C-alpha cells in the first residue's frame, strides 16, 4: 500500500515553506547548478508549443469515459473521465516547459519516461530536436489516447511500451538514456527500486527527473533515500520535481531552488 497523498492545503503549506527556504540566486552555486538557474529556470517559459497546449485543451473538454488499470494503486481498475485526468493528473504547462528545457540544456538524444498518461509531457520531450523518446505506460487504453495526441501533432520519434513497470523495465536490456523522467508509481518502495534498476541504464551524464517528490509522506521518504544513495551526487529540489545527477565528478550536495 502506498502512503496517502497530502491534501491540497498541506501541499500549499509545504510549498510556502519551500519558497521561503529556496534560493532564486546564490553565489555559492556549483557550475552545474548555476547552469540550471541561468540556462533553464530563467528561460523555460519561453518554450512555446501552442499546438500541444491545444491538445491539452481538447482533452480537458473530452466527453470520453475510460476504464483503466492503475498499477500504482494495487493494480485497481478505475473509471474516469478523460477530461478529469487531463485537468488533474497532467503536468501543468509551466513544468512541461521546464522539463522540455532541461532536455534541451543537456543536449539529450535518448529519453526514457515512466508514466505516459495522456502524452502531453511526452510531446514536450519529443519536440526537442534530435530526440528519441521511449515512454512506458501501464494501461493500453491510456496509451491509445496518448498515441492519438502524438498523431495529431505529427510526432514520430516516440515509442511506447505498455504494461506493469515491474515487468517492462526488464525489457530495456542494455539501453542507456541521457534523461530519465520518472512519473509513474508514486510510492516509496517502487520509486526507490526503479531508481536502482534504472541506474543500470544510465551513464555519468544522465539526468534523472523525479515527479511529485512532495506528493505524500512516502514520496518525501523516497526523495530522501534517493538523495542519500551512494551513486547520487548533486540534487535539486524544485518542489514539484526533483533533479538527480549521478556524475562522480560532482560534489554530493543538495539545493532548493525557486521556480
Percentage of the chain beyond pLDDT 90 is 80
| Alpha carbons 141 and 127: distance in angstroms, whole number | 23
Q: What is the pLDDT of residues 24-70, one digit of tens each?
A: 655 577 888 988 988 999 899 999 999 999 999 999 999 999 998 87
What is the enclosing helix (H) or strand (E) of 237?
strand 235-237
Mean pLDDT rounded to a whole number for the chain: 93
Position 105 confidence tier, pLDDT thresholds 50, 70, 90 = very high
Position 162 confidence tier, pLDDT thresholds 50, 70, 90 = very high
Query: Is pLDDT at 2 greater than 70 in this prediction?
Result: no
pLDDT at 56: 98
Position 73 confidence tier, pLDDT thresholds 50, 70, 90 = low
Average pLDDT of the segment spanning 111-120: 97
pLDDT at 206: 98
Q: What is the pLDDT of residues 191-232, one digit of tens each?
A: 999 999 999 999 999 999 999 999 999 999 999 999 999 999
**Using the 8-state DSSP alphabet, how is residue 169 labeled?**
G
Is the CB of residue 251 less than 8 Å from the CB of residue 30?
yes
Cell numbers found for residue 158: 516516440
Strand 254-256 to 235-237 pairing: parallel
CATH fold for the domain made of 8-48+91-256: Rossmann fold (3.40.50)
Instruction: Please state the pTM of the whole predicted model.
Output: 0.94
| Alpha carbons 78 and 74: distance in angstroms, whole number | 11
Q: Where are the domains of the chain?
A: 8-48+91-256
What is the enclosing helix (H) or strand (E) of 129?
none
pLDDT at 174: 86
Average pLDDT of the segment spanning 122-150: 97
Amino acid at each position: 500500500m502506498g502512503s496517502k497523498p497530502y491534501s491540497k492545503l498541506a501541499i500549499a503549506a509545504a510549498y510556502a515553506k519551500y519558497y521561503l527556504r529556496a534560493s532564486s540566486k546564490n553565489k555559492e552555486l556549483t557550475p552545474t547548478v548555476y547552469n540550471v538557474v541561468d540556462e533553464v529556470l530563467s528561460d523555460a517559459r519561453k518554450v512555446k508549443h501552442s499546438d500541444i497546449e491545444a491538445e491539452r485543451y481538447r482533452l480537458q473538454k473530452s466527453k470520453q469515459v475510460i476504464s483503466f488499470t492503475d498499477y500504482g494503486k494495487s493494480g485497481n481498475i478505475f473509471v474516469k473521465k478523460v477530461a478529469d485526468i487531463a485537468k488533474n493528473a497532467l503536468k501543468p504547462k509551466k513544468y512541461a516547459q521546464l522539463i522540455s528545457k532541461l532536455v534541451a540544456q543537456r543536449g539529450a538524444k535518448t529519453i526514457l519516461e515512466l508514466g505516459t498518461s495522456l502524452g502531453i509531457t511526452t510531446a514536450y520531450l519529443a519536440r526537442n530536436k534530435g530526440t528519441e523518446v521511449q515512454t512506458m505506460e501501464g494501461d493500453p487504453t491510456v496509451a491509445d489516447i496518448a498515441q492519438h495526441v502524438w498523431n495529431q501533432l505529427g510526432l514520430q520519434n516516440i515509442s511506447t511500451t505498455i504494461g506493469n513497470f515491474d515487468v517492462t523495465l526488464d525489457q530495456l536490456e542494455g539501453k542507456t538514456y541521457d534523461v530519465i523522467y520518472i512519473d509513474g508509481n508514486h510510492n516509496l518502495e517502487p520509486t526507490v527500486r526503479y531508481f536502482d534498476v534504472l541506474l543500470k541504464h544510465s551513464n555519468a551524464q544522465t539526468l534523472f527527473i523525479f515527479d511529485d517528490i512532495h506528493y505524500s509522506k512516502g514520496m518525501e521518504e523516497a526523495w530522501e533515500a534517493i538523495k542519500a544513495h551512494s551513486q547520487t551526487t548533486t540534487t535539486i529540489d524544485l518542489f514539484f520535481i526533483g533533479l538527480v545527477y549521478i556524475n562522480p565528478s560532482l560534489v554530493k550536495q543538495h539545493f532548493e531552488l525557486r521556480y
